[in-house]
Amino acid sequence: MNLIKFSPYPLFPSHLTLFLMGIGLPLAIFLLLASCVWNQGDALVWDVPLLEAIHATSQPLLDTIALTITPLGVIWGILPVLAGVGCALLYQRNWRSLVYIVITPLGSALLNRLFKLYFHRPRPQLWEVVSPTVSYAFPSGHAMSSATLVVVLSVIAWPTRWRWLTMIGGGLFMVSIGWTRLYLGKHYPSDVLAGWLLAIAWSITLMLLIRPYSIKTALISKGTVKT
């Protein structure tokens, strides 16, 4: 792989930039968080205070909003979007992008499960939560799946005029899902941050390997990409 080769699309970062900022930096921070969690979270002194500060804002309206939004971070929100985009790519016979959009979320889910089982981090028990979750906390599955979706869609949409809308809207979605997990007391902040970082590193790694952006991926309408 030529890490210094530039993409043919305007404003697309070089492979070297993506490797350093999209894989190296997120993985370094993730490993730092993982090391702290492995040592019983002794260095994560900000975890509980942040979680309690978010919980202090609780009110019935926010409860309803959080409970409504949080399911969208997994099956109910992720799968319909991926299925819709996948059908569009299949219709366009955009095989690279289709492979990318299938393999990346599946691998992300598998990585999340493996890391949860490895670290065995218990869920927060600072207050009584609605529908207690029995699985482990680190890294957050909702945060990881939502971040994976956002990166995947941003990569697919990059050659089109919709790239910035996708990135901004996706970023708001990702942050909203992360907020719900903290507000509902399901995760520590470090769980959510670790999920985001691992998802970004994984998604960009596969992007550099599969290169879905190396062919036309005009998802919304034809003629948006000039070669």
pLDDT for residue 16: 75
Amino acid at 66: A
More confident residue, 130 or 90: 90
Amino acid at 2: N
Domains within the chain, CATH numbers bracketed? 15-214 (1.20.144)
pLDDT at 226 over 60: no
Q: What number is the average pLDDT over the span 176-181?
A: 95
More confident residue, 22 or 227: 22
What digits encode the pLDDT tens for the residues 56-88?
998 999 999 999 999 998 888 899 999 999 998
Q: What percent of the chain has pLDDT over 70?
A: 83
CB of 191 within 8 A of CB of 138? Answer: yes
pLDDT at 1 over 50: no
- Give the whole-angstrom CA distance, residue 64 versus residue 44: 29
pLDDT band (50, 70, 90) for residue 99: very high
The pair of structure tokens assigned to 129 is 């939560």
pLDDT for residue 220: 38
What digits encode the pLDDT tens for the residues 137-173?
899 999 999 999 999 999 988 888 888 999 999 999 9
- Give the whole-angstrom CA distance, residue 105 versus residue 107: 5
pLDDT for residue 178: 95
* Omega prior to 13 cis, within 30 of 0: no
Q: What number is the average pLDDT over the span 6-19?
A: 59
- Give the whole-angstrom CA distance, residue 208 versus residue 14: 10
